[in-house]
Amino acid sequence: MNRRSLMSILVFVSVTLCMFSCSAIKEGIASSRNPKGFVSYNANIQIESKNDEQFAGEIQKIYPKLIDSIENKLNSKFKSTPVVFICSTNESFCKCTGAKFPGPRAKVTAQGIFISPRLHGSIDWFDIFYHELVHSIMFQKLGSHSYYTIPIWFHEGLATFVSNGGGSGNITDSIAINEILKGNHFYPHASFIRSYLSKPKLAPWIEYRQYMLFVKFLNNNSKPEFDKLIQSILEKKHFSKSITDAYGKNIHTLWSLFLENLKAL
């Protein structure tokens, strides 16, 4: 490798890391602030505009059921019912969450769950809200430091799995499996740098569906082992250790078994 190529790689890695850390810092600062300009719809829901009262009512109707469902599936209780902030503009949503405009449709921070106006009226708003609630219980239990030591594929796969596909849009299992069999997939055993550099060009919904399928495999292959994994993660044990303690195999072996399983379908 010549000097010029080495310099290009170093610049690329530096820019990548800066982009990652700068957005993480921005999100951290935003989420540490108390959201302003909201009024209570009830004990758990805050709204910015009276126009969102009806949407707040729809969320309230399904909220207790979703909390119960997640607590049952993960065999763990929320520390407290997360506060839902319904933002009236994309600007306030981004200000509260530190997200880059226009931001995702919902986001969990240390303050609670923020809902963007872009979620209101979406056909899949229920699934997205369900998905975000799973992130919320993990965030409450782990705290921001431990939360970010867990690989993104596991967080997103768990949230998509528990919410019955929430966050993977209209992507079916078959579409996601087809891409995996063609070699277009994520690498659960890759380091952060490697996973970034070798990231396949997958649409986010396909990627989330693939994350979900692997988490589903970990669950369906052995429920007691999966429960042990969740408990170990919630006790803030290292992710790789939690995997080997629960399954007696490392993530590389489990991924190979997953691929074998898909090939045999």
Distance between start and end Cα atoms, the chain? 43
Residue 260 burial by Cβ neighbours in a 10 Å radius (0-12, 13-18, 19+): exposed
Nearer to Zn ion, 158 or 262 (CB): 158
Nearer to Zn ion, 171 or 262 (CB): 171
Nearer to Zn ion, 159 or 176 (CB): 159
Q: Which amino acid is at 186?
A: F
Binding site for Zn ion (CB under 5 A): 156, 159
The least distance separating Zn ion from the CB of residue 127, rounded to whole angstroms, comes to: 11
Q: Where are the alpha helices (DSSP H) in 189-235?
A: 192-197, 204-221, 223-234
Asked whether the beta carbons of 70 and 9 are under 8 A apart, the reply is no
Nearer to Zn ion, 156 or 207 (CB): 156
The least distance separating Zn ion from the CB of residue 45, rounded to whole angstroms, comes to: 20
The least distance separating Zn ion from the CB of residue 228, rounded to whole angstroms, comes to: 23
The least distance separating Zn ion from the CB of residue 211, rounded to whole angstroms, comes to: 9
Give dist(CA 213, CA 223) in Å, integer.
15
